[in-house]
Amino acid sequence: MKYVIIGNSAAAVGAIEGIRALDKDGDIMVISNEGHHTYSRPLISYLLQGKTDRERMKYRTDSFYEDFNCRTLFGKTVIKLDKDKKAALLDDGEKIPYDKLLVATGSSPFVPPMEGLDTVSKRFSFMSLDDADSLEKALYPEARVLIVGAGLIGLKCAEGILARVGKITVIDLAPRILSSILDDEGAKIVQTHIEKQGIDFRLGVSAKSFSANKAELTSGETLEFDILVTAVGVRPNVGLVKDAGGEVDRGILVDENMQTTIPDVFAAGDCVVSCDLSCGLKRILAILPNAYIGGFNAGTAMSGGTPKPQKAMPMNAIGFFGLHIITAGSYEGEAFEMQDKENYKKLFYADDALKGFILIGDVDKAGIYTSLVREKTPLSGIDFASVCKEPSLIAFGRSFRDEKLGGKSYEN
């Protein structure tokens, strides 16, 4: 069996581990347009911050490809899929035949058309290790940095470089920061915390135009900067599948086996549409855990197995300057809210189930909430009032604990 994997990040690694759990001998070829050993993309801000380094940010050990008996083709780009001849065509003309193919091409930074953007000489995205390297070379202690986008990527970038530049201003079209994961109250707490570190925000505005080192905002204000980082959003890399005739919506469409509508072509990670179990909607869940598990499931299916249901949903753990944030699920239904200075909690519930939550500050045992959402645990069967105040296993009752902690089986 010839397996070909396009991509070398979390979904690709998941697929390799999934395939090898069932097929020890099949030929696995990993093709990546990046020249690096598999590394964790979310760690690029920690790299610039000095909290990790190139060795430690490797997502798997140095011997990973050898241990899992994979061949690699790095620094090569797949430009076309030939679904009839079952081959991937490389930019250098080589054709790589496959029996089962995984498209784990991830997503790319989306830079909306903005007037005069091409007049900015020091302009960066912040998605890949190469992006981080390019940005790092441009940093200097007096630099004024303008970051467009107050989402996860823009703000982690800000945290990562703050100590190495003179000034950071972050602008966003949304009226609040981290608008994809926080509500207004939560966003305010985190914004205040980040502002205390010396980062400025302009919210509810966008850049109307750029001219060399000046940005004119929709508010009329003009901001001067030395370095520009665009972190507005990402777009799934769907081109290979789309061009080969596979069905694509906002991302690549896959079934429960992670198979696209093209036979023997699978896809996983940031490039696919997932089913969000917390609300039932189809959406892109561009988060690392989803990529790994989707990739693992694809690998299982590619090697003839039946994957477990994925139970995908949004979930994020992120922190800024020591303030931790954990969120998961969907923010719909009734809400339970608690706030004490920087500690903020909001739980969303409907139809006898926890749908989602936001925790800021005190995030201890957050996974108990995540588990309630993922397993759709009926809230009528637990002491929900106590679990609202504090996540605990006491709220679950004795038989749950005898099974989970005492190892007793209730299968019969």
Partner 1 sequence: MKRVYVNEQWCLGCHLCEYNCAFANTGKKDMASALMNIKIRPNIRVEDDGKVCFAVSCRHCDEPFCVTNCITGALTKVGGVITIDRNKCVGCYTCVLSCPYGCVTPTEQGVMQKCELCTTNGGTPKCVLGCPNNAIVFEER
Sole window of 76-84, 117-125, 258-266, 393-401 interacting with partner 1 (rule: CB under 8 A)? 393-401
User: Does 324 interact with partner 1 (rule: CB under 8 A)?
Assistant: yes
Instruction: Give the whole-angstrom CA distance, residue 181 versus residue 187.
Output: 9
Q: Whole-number minimum distance, CB 274 to partner 1, in Å?
A: 15
Give the per-residue contact string, 27-66, with partner 1 (x = CB under 8 A; - = no): -------------x-xx--x----xx---xxxxxx-----
Q: How far is the CB of 55 from partner 1 (least distance, A)?
A: 9
Only segment of 138-146, 258-266, 345-353, 399-407 that touches partner 1 (CB under 8 A):
399-407
Binding string, residues 330-369; x marks residues near partner 1 by CB under 8 A: ---------------------------------xxxxxx-
* Contact partners, residue 342, CB within 8 Å, separation at least 6: 189, 193, 323, 360, 361
Q: How far is the CB of 374 from partner 1 (least distance, A)?
A: 8
Asked whether the beta carbons of 11 and 292 are under 8 A apart, the reply is yes
First to last CA, the chain: 40
Q: Applying CB under 8 A, does 376 fall inside the site for partner 1?
A: no
In angstroms, give the least distance from the CB of 325 to partner 1.
Answer: 9
For residues 104 and 18, give the distance between their C-alpha atoms in angstroms, rounded to a whole number.
14
SS3 state of residue 243:
helix
Among 146, 262, 315, 347, binds partner 1 (CB under 8 A): 315
What minimum distance in Å lies between the beta carbon of 157 and partner 1? 15
Minimum gap (Å) between residue 294 Cβ and partner 1? 11
Considering beta carbons, is residue 169 or 370 the nearer one to partner 1?
370
Asked if 95 is part of the footprint of partner 1 (rule: CB under 8 A), the reply reads: no
Residues forming a β-bridge with 104: none
Q: How far apart are CA 310 and CA 240, in angstroms?
A: 24
Evaluate whether 253 touches 278 at the Cβ level (below 8 Å): no
| Distance, CA of 165 to CA of 152 (rounded, Å) | 20
18 or 236: whose CB is closer to partner 1?
18
Query: By CB under 8 A, is residue 286 in contact with partner 1?
Result: no
310 touching partner 1, by CB under 8 A: no
Task: Decide if residue 242 touches partner 1 (CB under 8 A).
Answer: no
CB 27 within 8 A of CB 3: yes
CA dist list (Å): 321 to 57, 191, 361, 379, 380:
20, 11, 11, 35, 38
Residue with smaller CB distance to partner 1, 44 or 272: 44
56 and 15 Cβ atoms separated by less than 8 Å: no
Query: Which residue among 90, 174, 203, 317 contacts partner 1 (CB under 8 A)?
Result: 317
Of 134, 316, 339, 343, the one binding partner 1 (CB under 8 A) is: 316
Least distance from partner 1 to the Cβ atom of residue 401, Å: 6
Size of the chain, expressed as the number of residues it contains: 412
Rounded Cα distance between 372 and 383, Å, is: 12
214-217, strands of its sheet edge to edge: 207-211, 214-217, 222-224
305 near partner 1, judged by CB under 8 A: no
CB of 303 to partner 1, least distance (A): 18
- 96, 254, 258, 326: which one binds partner 1 (CB under 8 A): 326
Q: What is the dihedral of CA 83, 31, 70, 263, to 10 degrees?
A: -20
Q: At what angle do helices 288-302 and 10-22 cross, to 10 degrees?
A: 30
CB 89, min distance to partner 1, A: 32
SS3 24: coil
Residues 170-229 that bind partner 1 (CB under 8 A): none
**Would you give the DSSP letter of residue 213?**
T
Q: Which two tokens stand for residue 97?
A: 């035949």
Pair of tokens at residue 106: 């991830």
* Position 139 contacts partner 1 (CB under 8 A): no
Binding stretches for partner 1 (CB under 8 A): 14, 40, 42-43, 46, 51-52, 56-61, 288-289, 292-293, 296, 308, 315-319, 322, 324, 326, 328, 363-368, 370-371, 386, 391-394, 398, 401-402, 404-408
